Structure 1
Amino acid sequence: MNTLNNLFLIIHIVAGFTALTVGVVPMLAKKGGRLHILTGLVFYYAMAVVCASAFWLVAFKGSALFLLFIAIFSFYSTFSGRREILRKRLKVPSERTDYVAAALALAASVGMLGLGLYQVLKGTLSVPTVLYFVFGVFLFTQARYDWRRYLQPERSKYPVQSWFYHHITRMGGAYIAAFTAFVVVNARFGASPYAFWLSLAAWIGPGVVGGMVIGRTVRHYLLKMKVAKQS
């Protein structure tokens, strides 16, 4: 069993490193080009392997349960981002697959919030306790929004070319998750009296900065399309 556990750990690490390195390419490559599509697929499947291997590591290797929820959070962003492209390509509305994924993400978010509340009631205040709430709320909000816009597309934040902006935000969010995992794994705070806050910063900081970059990117394309429409 130890050999198998180590194998899954290696697979998990390799997939995560692949997502981290390859994921930069589709962000810089020409949108819709061959390089963008191929590297985007590699990133997608690498994140899928990260999530799948996390299930094994938590169930059989004894890794922290929190890491499984983070993997689910990361893959939901990846999955929903790719689904935007697939629905656009196939010219189909939201399908059962989308609803099931959103429902599972909602269930995972409720689980995260429940675990966070349980630890608070036990009097435990740790980094995972805080992150259960942070990521739980974010995942709940994201999945709830998806469910509502699947039912009522007019409630989308982006009434025009919604698929394009949701693809950017979701895949960008997935990459931030991969980058965050890299930062956290390699951060060493030792016995620093500020270890709690430094660890929180390592977990949350990339999301804050990355979110700002994604926001600027979305605004850039919104303005670009507005100008193109007026000209």
Structure 2
Amino acid sequence: METLHTLSLVVHIISGFTALLTGTAILVLRKGGKVHRRTGLVYFIALMAVAATSFVMSVIHPSPFLFMVGVFTLYLGLSGYRAVKHRLRHTGAWDLLITLLGAANAVAMVLSGHLVLMVFGGISAWLVFGDVRTYVYTLRHMPVPKLLWLQRHIGHMLGSYIATVTAFLVVNLSSSPLGMMIWFAPMVVVVPLILIWTRRYVAGPTLAADRTIE
């Protein structure tokens, strides 16, 4: 089991570093372009590897914290990917299951009593609410804001980037005198980006779905 844990740790580190690099690159790339899409796919695969190895390691060496962060990463990555891949056609059983997973994990994180997990839980709950709103629109055949899928994609993917950067800072700067400020720095920087880019690219329900993203 220790060999499996060591192997998982190596894959976890490589995948996490890959997600950090590609996620940072995506922030400055032209949005919606070919390079953005290809880099985004690498980022998504790296996220899934991070989540999978988190589960393995948290089982071998029991760690509720690592397990919940892994679920958090899995939920954000899958939801963000499916939002852009399926756009308005993402209300199937898989999507509902992913949202339920995110909701259950959000509750667990909030109830954990760990400050960082509680904040992550709040972010997750906010995004789950957006998922549910989308399902209500589509399942009740209500008019759906044409770029709501893009809003979900931005929110979930940048949320996963927060988790990636936070993990990197904590592992490498755990002894910093800044203490807990290290945990929250990515949230302070990236959450405003979520709000700004959502307003920029998702102007409202009358916006054309094929609007060019720059």
Q: Distance in 2 between matches of 1:174 and 1:40?
A: 12
Q: Distance in 1 between matches of 2:173 and 2:126?
A: 29
Flag the structure with larger Rg: 1
User: Which of 131, 135, 148 does residue 133 from structure 2 map onto?
Assistant: 148
Corresponding residue for residue 2 of structure 1: 2
Q: Distance in 1 between matches of 2:188 and 2:171?
A: 18
User: Which of 158, 163, 166 does residue 177 from structure 1 map onto?
Assistant: 163
More helix by share: 1
Secondary structure of the structure 1 residue equivalent to 2:98: helix
Corresponding residue for residue 22 of structure 2: 22
Deviations 1:205-229 (A, max 9, x none): 2112111122222333356x97x9x
| Counterpart amino acid of residue 171 in structure 2 | V
1:78 has 2:77 as partner: yes
| Counterpart amino acid of residue 168 in structure 2 | F
Taking a change above 3 Å as real, the CA distance of residues 85 and 147 of structure 1, as seen in their structure-2 partners, is same
Indicate conservation of the 8 Å contact 2:84/2:149, yes or no: yes
- Give unpaired runs (5+ residues) of structure 2: none
Q: Distance in 1 between matches of 2:197 and 2:129?
A: 24
Matches within 5 A, 1:56-135: 56-62=56-62, 64-88=63-87, 92-116=89-113, 129-135=114-120
Indicate conservation of the 8 Å contact 1:44/1:78, yes or no: yes
Taking a change above 3 Å as real, the CA distance of residues 148 and 217 of structure 1, as seen in their structure-2 partners, is closer
Taking a change above 3 Å as real, the CA distance of residues 61 and 93 of structure 1, as seen in their structure-2 partners, is closer
Identity %: 33
Indicate conservation of the 8 Å contact 2:127/2:155, yes or no: no
Corresponding residue for residue 51 of structure 1: 51
Taking a change above 3 Å as real, the CA distance of residues 147 and 219 of structure 1, as seen in their structure-2 partners, is closer
The structural deviation recorded for 1:93 is 4.4
Q: Distance in 2 between matches of 1:176 and 1:105?
A: 16
Secondary structure of the structure 1 residue equivalent to 2:9: helix
Indicate conservation of the 8 Å contact 1:102/1:144, yes or no: no
What RMSD, in angstroms, separates the aligned Cα atoms of the two structures?
2.6
Greater RCO structure (CA 8 Å; 6+ sep): 2
1:165 has 2:151 as partner: yes
Deviations 1:135-183 (A, max 9, x none): 22322232233123212259x9x82411122212221221121111111
Q: What TM-score, normalized to structure 1?
A: 0.78
Q: What is the total number of aligned residue pairs between the two structures?
A: 204
Indicate conservation of the 8 Å contact 2:147/2:202, yes or no: no
Corresponding residue for residue 191 of structure 2: 211
Q: What TM-score, normalized to structure 2?
A: 0.84
| Counterpart amino acid of residue 185 in structure 2 | G
Secondary structure of the structure 1 residue equivalent to 2:180: helix
